[in-house]
Amino acid sequence: MKKKTIKKKSFQGSSVTLAVLGEKIDRLQLTVEQNTKDIVGIKQTLAYGKGGVRVFVWMVGIVTTIIAVAKFITGNGS
């Protein structure tokens, strides 16, 4: 059996590569933070929208009930 020889890798110029990678990671972190803030804002907007729809449905139900009761009391219901 032959033994495999392991070549040592040269790391010349790796500091430049690491610096570039570090900058890219920093930019990614900033982007992720901004996206997280945007997602929180979108969730709040959706929650307000859902709440608005619920209030609208309740108001329509209350107005419809008041009109039905008024018609029933005045005798114009049938």
For residue range 22-40, list pLDDT tens digits in order: 899 999 999 999 999 999 9
Residue pair 77/71 in contact (Cβ under 8 Å)? The answer is: yes
CA distances in angstroms from 25 to 12, 14, 17, 37, listed in the order given: 21, 16, 12, 18
From residue 24, give the alpha-carbon distance in Å to each of 15, 19, 43, 76.
14, 9, 28, 74
d(Cα 25, Cα 62) in Å, to the nearest integer? Answer: 55
Grade residue 9 by pLDDT with cuts at 50, 70 and 90: low
| pLDDT confidence of residue 11 | 54
Backbone phi, psi, residue 36, to 5°: -65, -45
